A and B are shown apart, each in its own frame.
Chain A
Amino acid sequence: MEIANTASSDRKSKSILDVLKTLHKSVGMLFFVFIALILVMGIINPRFFTISNGIILTRQACFLGLISMGQMLVILTGGVDVSLGAIIGLCSVLSAIAAKQYGITAGWLVPIIVGGGVGLFNGAVVAYARIDSFAVTLGSLSICSGLALIISKGLTIYNLPKAFRDLAYSDVFSVPMPIIITAAVIFVMYLLLYRVRFGRYVYAVGGNLEALRLAGVNVNRVILGIFAGAGILTGICAAVLSSRINSGQPNLGGALMMESIAACVVGGVTFQGGVGKLGGVIIGVLFLSALSNGFDLIGVSSFVKQVIVGCIIIFAVVIDKLKK
């Protein structure tokens, strides 16, 4: 019988087969389905494989990536944060106002702070009032979108300083800024989830909150950190997104909330909590983005796209479950 090999007992192997095996073990079937998808897309329309399209795809994926990493933190605890989309709207509006009144740096920083603040609020209610995250964030969703509409009077805020666009449009060594920012965030998330205590506690909260409390950990602080983190990541997403459209829109980010949940679920982060890897979420994000991008190239109507995306999500999750 096979005795399960663990990653630490494997020696660093150079053969491609072993690399593939490790990938499969860590992110499941999804990775291979993703590769298959890319190939199919590319065959149908070879433009898919061009570098310029690759950059467009990756840059577009950044927004989903940032918000999905935030959602991942919350789903890992067995909960869900449905307010993230509304936070983007609120932050976008405040970001635009700050940029106009106090300069572009303020315009980029305010959304991050506000996002973190709303997240902290969510976390506080979940932790101290011991209320289910879905209920709390549902309330926050309403509050944030309402505030966004009030502050903006329902209108788009434009005429921002030209330099505001730099966050989304500048290049560093010809790599678009959003990709650099997202890569940096991924690195920090990696450290946070796997190399520092906080990450162990996040997984533990999802596994067994009461046991963690008995183990002497301040569970409330962990929960605060989780939701605040989700808020901050969403704030960063809002900053870059607003910079991209060079305006503040109260309805920005509506669809992103649902897509972030989809990306997490496709990436293997299940609602039971305590299960799921960062790599999985990244692949989930790329998967959905590639799907969207590929469909656009082929010329599939976006309505049809929605149906197909839904089917693929269900398919991917079932396949992943069966393989386990």
Chain B
Amino acid sequence: MEQTQELLKMTHVSKSFPGVIALDDIQFDLRKGEVHALVGENGAGKSTLIKILAGVHQMNSGGEINLEQQKLNIKNPHQANKLGIFTIYQEVTYVPDISVAENLFLGSEIVENGLINHSKQVKETEKLFKAFGYPIDPKRMARDLNVAELRMVNIVKALNNDVKILILDEPTASLTDKEKDILFENIVRLKKQGTGIIYISHRTGELKELADRATVFRDGKYIDTLNMADIRGLDDLIPLMIGKEIKNKYPKVKANIGDELLKVTNLSCKNNHFQNVSLNVHSGEVLGFFGLVGCGFEEVFRSVFGVVPYDSGEIEIMHDNTFKSLKKNCPKSSLKNNIAFIPRDRKHLGLLMNLSVSENIVISSYKDFTKKIFKLINRKKVAQIATEYKQKINIKTPSINTKVETLSGGNQQKVLLARALCSKGSVFLFNQPTAGVDVGAKIEIYQFINQLTASGAGIVMVSYELPEVMGMCDRIMVMYQGKIVKEFKTEETTKDEVLKYAFGHNDDNSDCESAS
């Protein structure tokens, strides 16, 4: 019965890195034809587990991994693939300057007489994607693809093998319904063929639909394994994941709404596809921006802060009781005028990976940390303030001098938050504040937003997660294809209505451009 169904069994697996124990004597098993969800906060050890199975990390001695009752020593990703273990990571992996076909066949090129047969690769690629119901031009450069398309390339590449174990880490992030449907169809197909699937996700809807069992990790330790049939929703898993009950997922605390802090008028940019965007933010208010992938809200705020230039329009910020116009394309002037920007792409746009937590926190505001003589850095003050923030927002790190690259995603996000706070902003622009952040840290970030509004700051939150926007924002602006289509007062609207406008409904006609 269960013996013959057993595909993968991991026992007493541990993994430690300098300064941190990522996995502590965990166990995990996977049956043939099952979808086994792996849940837990960031830093719980999920990524480490899959990296061990994928051959990226080596587990500590003393652990055992058995595949179909055979003991394994997965030395590198190539070997993992040979064993039939394929992984689709959270971040899309691709080489930007070669074509889709070349990316698909990277590592397994079609070689004849010592040379790569490019035309055959192109033909094969076309065939494969057609069979998946997702036609892509195989000759396109990978850098021209959007995230959803790149993700599909990763998926097709993995599934074009004899897959014994498929590992998916947050596979539906940045996917539209079209891609999701194709992915789920294939998961069901693989299940029937006996492939075991490890699925990491925070989205309960998906887990309910696909998963058979769910295993919970917390702080690197194995907590429990449950049957999905016995679980009603994320609420059953959350206490296991964080070890404490969270009653309120979106702990919004309304603050007194005061004067206008930020005023944007008719902002347009042809290259980044947004037109005539106007908005204002008041002190104590959280303004939400919602839309579907491609609606343009990220680009709008990158322009507001000065990361990318815009063509026309005006941005004014309240400074010393008067409205000042902001310089185009100048993050420094934005910061000087008290706007802080917390980017979505922590790695590339936010953090200085080779520097410590404390250095990352104070980097924007060194003027507040210099002594008078020779403008030397006041290291005591830096350490003091950094420690304050570490405690205030609960940044999990061995010390403030640890390099940020070793922190988990949620804690890295908190470092960026601390940096924004340190620069003493009065307006905070959050680009997807809790993307890739675990439940516990999410709530901490929301509570922090409450503190910000209570102290009079104005917040703009740009997010693809509708519950988050509805839960934390006072007003919601819906964007569709680069234009603002509707503005709501959150308490006067419903999820369905907001979603309707996000799909392109406008009041003049009832045409709804559905993406599903």
Q: Which A residues contact B (CB, under 8 angstroms)? A: 1-4, 6-9, 191, 195-197, 200, 203-204, 206-208, 210-218, 274-275
Contact = CB atoms under 8 A, between A and B. Distances in A.
Contact of B363 (A195, A204, A206, A275): A204
B288 interface: no
Contact of A191 (B305, B343, B376): B376
A201 to B, nearest CB: 8
Nearest to A275: B354
A197 B365 CA distance: 10
Nearest to A207: B354
Contacts of B393: none
B43 interface: no
14 contacts: A3-B398, A4-B398, A4-B399, A4-B402, A6-B399, A196-B374, A200-B355, A204-B352, A212-B363, A213-B331, A216-B331, A216-B423, A217-B363, A218-B332
Nearest to A5: B399
B175 interface: no
Given A200-B359, A217-B363, A275-B354, A2 B374 contact: no
Interface stretch (B16-24, B232-240, B454-462, B473-481): B16-24
Given A197-B377, A211-B348, A4 B18 contact: yes
A207 B352 contact: yes
B401 A216 contact: no
Contacts of A204: 352, 355, 359, 363
B19 A207 contact: no
Nearest to B379: A195
A4 B305 CA distance: 38
Given A3-B19, A217-B332, A207 B353 contact: yes
B383 A8 contact: yes
B374 A191 contact: yes
A215 B363 contact: yes
A204 B331 CA distance: 16
A216 B349 contact: no
B147 interface: no
Contacts of B336: 216
Contacts of A215: 331, 335, 352, 363-364, 419
Nearest to B363: A215
A6 B19 CA distance: 10
B341 interface: yes
A6 B375 contact: no
Interface in B390-419: 398-399, 401-402, 419
B87 interface: no
Nearest to A200: B359
A74 B383 CA distance: 28
Interface string B99-126: 0000000000000000000000000000
Contacts of A212: 352, 363
A210 B349 contact: yes
Interface string B340-360: 010100001111111100010
B402 A214 contact: no
A212 B332 CA distance: 10
Given A4-B18, A191-B376, A208 B332 contact: no
A212 B353 CA distance: 11
Nearest to A194: B377
B66 interface: no
A212 B348 CA distance: 10
**5 nearest A-B pairs in the assembled complex, by CB-CB distance:** A216-B335, A4-B19, A207-B354, A274-B354, A197-B366
B307 interface: yes
B283 interface: no
B370 interface: yes
Contacts of A3: 19, 398
A217 B364 contact: yes
Nearest to A198: B375
Nearest to B358: A8
Contacts of B16: 1
Contacts of A214: 305, 307, 331, 341, 343, 349-350
Given A2-B19, A215-B352, A215-B363, 17 more contacts: A3-B398, A6-B399, A8-B383, A195-B379, A196-B377, A197-B377, A200-B377, A203-B354, A207-B354, A207-B355, A208-B352, A208-B354, A211-B350, A214-B307, A214-B341, A215-B335, A217-B364
A204 B375 CA distance: 19
A211 to B, nearest CB: 6
Contacts of A274: 352, 354-355
A211 B354 contact: no
Contact of B402 (A6, A196, A275): A6
